[in-house]
């Protein structure tokens, strides 16, 4: 009988670790993104009531809108601050302790928002959102780094994608519990805002039973015994000599150097194309146009004949679709590879955005055109989940060696939060100016990325960190020949080709 090209042998302990990291890591990001919308009107009313009670005169509509906008946007500022310190915490305290620390701002934020109505303070909501942002900024980076380093080579992709699945599940749970029948009622909005304490408490209780990242233990702490023990706990009692040899080879290349800074990423030619790849694939996810698609989704569903009272359930369906597609990406990534999933998804999203621009412009012409728009929205979401949303998780772990990895996550996370903040401010003006043609900008980006991934980005599936490094060195030292000095492992000499 022919053998399958990929046999998943993920152990229960590794699967449980991925779950525990997810529920207190990227799940929190997805949850906070979605639960802020259902209670919007209730919180605005609360702000108006407290203002009138305090100052004996009503706050203007512009003032309420300004305070509400501040509550929404301060989350991104907290996220940026958290992402900037993710590298420091993961190096100084290790991946495990850093991940446990993430739960402190999560609990603070949940407590402040949950008790804001009791104390009659909208400022507590503002401060709580800031702490929730810090939690998300730290959690996004440390979670993906931790889970990626805990997986063996053959399971790196599928394990890291659990971070993306956790984001999608967080969004769906936020949509679901935000329904008026559950916690979206006026009397229950403080409970909804404080529900993020539950996943934080679950992780604080369960994560101490798991080991730190084997790569961190061996390469950073030089604890080979601890590394082997962690491997056996997470992967089982099989032969892990090849994986250990790979880590030792990476350790020799690092040659005792300290962890690099973000500035070192820009200075060092040996990571130039890794940096460009992470910037385009991971940092620029906001430029794909998911926010634009979700922005128009509500009106599209209404015009397709979906009753007003049912639109929220269809929106929940879009979140569930994203969950399913990220899980599907986990099944495909070790079979198809990162590169094919990425470029085919970008091509599909390019076509979907182009056709969506046309159908939105022509939707008044015929009754069936809005239905085409609905189908295109789901095609776009599915392509996003199978491609960029899933593949971007393992990529920084795979293409950077240990000394550069924390700085790469700081760079990627920081830029992502800055983009989220800027696009949140600028996007409404883009919509006002371009209308449905705002998709053209995102379409061009997706088209460019399809070409870049197909022609430039190396495949990382099934390769060791050093093999991936060699692939990128062909780009970093194009026109130059690398010579490795056997006497000085890890030191590179460059000679120009005559």
- Residues 431-456 have pLDDT tens digits of 778 877 888 889 999 999 999 999 99
Place of tokens 């999933």: 341
96 contact partners, CB below 8 Å, separation of at least 6: 146, 207, 210, 211, 212, 213
Comparing 436 with 177, the larger pLDDT belongs to: 177
Tokens 């706050």 belong to which residue?
59
What pLDDT does 490 receive? 39
Distance CA 178, CA 185 (A): 8
Least confident range of 103-117, 196-210, 213-227, 418-432: 418-432
From the DSSP assignment, how many helices (H) and strands (E) are in the chain? 24, 2
Separation between Cα atoms, residue 148 and residue 170, nearest integer Å: 20
Where helices occur in 36-93 by DSSP H, the ranges are 40-55, 61-92
Whole-number pLDDT of residue 3: 40
Sign of the torsion formed by the C-alpha atoms of 418, 419, 424 and 425: positive
Cα 448 from Cα 339, distance rounded (Å): 14
Question: What are the φ and ψ backbone dihedral angles of 77, each rounded to 5 degrees?
Answer: -65, -45
What was the pLDDT predicted at 6?
46
pLDDT tier for residue 421 given thresholds of 50, 70 and 90? confident
Q: What is the pLDDT confidence band of residue 274, given thresholds at 50, 70 and 90?
A: very high
What Cα–Cα distance (Å) separates residue 362 from each residue in 189, 359, 381? Answer: 39, 5, 22
Residues in the chain: 498
Mean pLDDT of 68-89: 91
**pLDDT reading at 254 higher than 70:** yes
Write the pLDDT tens digit of every residue in 453-486: 999 999 998 888 889 999 999 999 886 655 444 3
CA dihedral 275, 280, 283, 288 (to 10 degrees): -170
Contact by Cβ (8 Å): 436, 361: yes
- Measure Cα distances from 294 to 34, 73, 121, 373, 409 in Å: 12, 18, 31, 12, 27
From 151-155, 292-296, 490-494, the region with the lowest mean pLDDT = 490-494
pTM for this structure?
A: 0.85
pLDDT in tens, 94-143: 999 999 999 999 999 999 999 999 999 999 999 999 999 999 999 999 99
Look at residue 211 and give its three-state secondary structure: coil
β-sheet bridge partners, residue 495 = 481
Q: What is the pLDDT of residue 393?
A: 85
Question: Do the beta carbons of residue 233 and residue 13 sit within 8 Å?
Answer: yes
pLDDT for 9: 59
Name every residue whose Cβ is closer than 8 Å to that of residue 171 and which is 6 or more positions away in sequence. 30, 31, 33, 34, 319, 322
Checking if the pLDDT of 216 tops 50, the result is yes
Is the model's pLDDT at 157 over the cut of 90?
no
- Is-contact 250 402, C-beta < 8 A? yes
The two tokens of residue 274 are 């890794």
239 vs 84, more confident: 84
CB 136 within 8 A of CB 32: yes
Which residues, in sequence order, are bridge partners of residue 484? 492
Please tell me which residue, 181 or 432, carries the higher pLDDT value. Answer: 181
Checking if the pLDDT of 310 tops 80, the result is: no
Write the burial class of residue 56 (CB in 10 Å: 0-12 exposed, 13-18 middle, 19+ buried).
exposed
Q: Answer for the pair 349, 325: CB distance below 8 angstroms, yes or no.
A: no
**Cα distances (Å, whole numbers) of residue 112 to 42, 52, 495:** 17, 21, 59
pLDDT digits (tens, 9 = 90+) for 380-405: 999 999 999 888 888 888 899 888 99
- In percent, the amount of the chain with pLDDT more than 70 equals 92
Q: pLDDT digits over 335-385, tens only?
A: 899 999 999 999 999 999 999 889 888 877 888 888 888 899 999 999 999
Q: What average pLDDT does this structure show over 284-310?
A: 76
At residue 8, the 3 state secondary structure works out as coil
DSSP secondary structure string for all residues of 151-210: S-GGGHHHHHHHHHHHHHHHHHHHHHHTSTTTT-SGGGHHHHHHTTHHHHHHHHHHGGGS
Residue pair 379/353 in contact by the 8 Å Cβ criterion: no
Q: Is the pLDDT of residue 285 over 70?
A: yes
């Amino acid at each position: 009988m022919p053998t399958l090209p990929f046999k998943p042998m993920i152990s229960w302990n590794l699967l449980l670790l991925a779950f525990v990291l997810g529920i207190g890591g990227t799940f929190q990001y997805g949850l906070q993104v979605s639960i802020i919308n259902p209670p919007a009107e209730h919180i605005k009313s609360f702000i108006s009531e407290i203002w009138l009670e305090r100052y004996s005169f009503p706050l203007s509509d512009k003032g309420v809108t300004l305070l509400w906008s501040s509550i929404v946007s301060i989350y991104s500022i907290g996220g940026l601050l958290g992402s900037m310190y993710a590298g420091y915490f993961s190096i100084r305290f290790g991946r495990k302790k850093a991940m446990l620390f993430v739960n402190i701002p999560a609990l603070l934020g949940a407590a402040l928002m949950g008790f804001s109505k009791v104390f009659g303070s909208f400022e507590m909501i503002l401060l709580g959102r800031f702490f929730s942002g810090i939690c998300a900024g730290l959690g996004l980076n440390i979670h993906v780094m931790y889970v990626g380093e805990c997986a063996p080579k053959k399971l790196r992709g599928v394990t890291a994608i659990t971070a993306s699945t956790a984001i999608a599940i967080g969004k769906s749970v936020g949509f679901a519990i935000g329904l008026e029948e559950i916690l979206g009622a006026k009397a229950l909005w403080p409970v909804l805002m404080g529900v993020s304490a539950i996943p934080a408490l679950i992780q604080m209780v369960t994560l101490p039973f798991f080991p730190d990242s084997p790569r961190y233990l061996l390469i950073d702490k030089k604890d080979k015994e601890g590394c082997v023990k962690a491997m056996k706990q997470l992967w089982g009692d099989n032969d892990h000599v090849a994986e250990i040899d790979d880590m030792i080879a990476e350790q020799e290349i690092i040659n005792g150097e300290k962890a690099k800074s973000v500035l070192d990423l820009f200075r060092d030619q040996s990571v130039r194309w890794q940096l460009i790849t992470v910037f385009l694939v991971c940092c620029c996810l906001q430029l794909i146009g998911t926010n634009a698609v979700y922005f128009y989704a509500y009106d599209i569903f209404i015009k397709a004949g979906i009753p007003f009272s049912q639109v929220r359930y269809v929106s929940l369906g879009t979140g569930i679709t994203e969950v399913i597609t990220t899980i599907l990406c986990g099944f495909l990534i070790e079979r198809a590879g990162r590169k094919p999933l990425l470029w085919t998804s970008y091509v599909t999203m390019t076509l979907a955005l182009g056709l969506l621009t046309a159908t939105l412009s022509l939707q008044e012409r015929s009754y069936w055109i809005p239905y085409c728009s609905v189908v295109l929205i789901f095609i776009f979401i599915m392509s996003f989940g199978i491609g960029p949303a899933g593949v971007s998780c393992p990529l920084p772990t795979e293409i950077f060696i240990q000394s550069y990895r924390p700085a790469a996550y700081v760079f990627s996370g920081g830029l992502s939060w800055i983009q989220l903040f800027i696009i949140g401010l600028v996007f409404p003006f883009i919509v006002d100016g371009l209308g449905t043609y705002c998709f053209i900008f995102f379409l061009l980006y997706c088209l460019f990325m399809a070409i870049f991934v197909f022609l430039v980005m190396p495949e990382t599936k099934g390769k060791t960190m050093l093999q991936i490094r060699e692939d990128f060195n062909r780009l970093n030292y194009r026109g130059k020949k690398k010579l490795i000095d056997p006497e000085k492992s890890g030191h590179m000499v460059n000679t120009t080709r005559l």
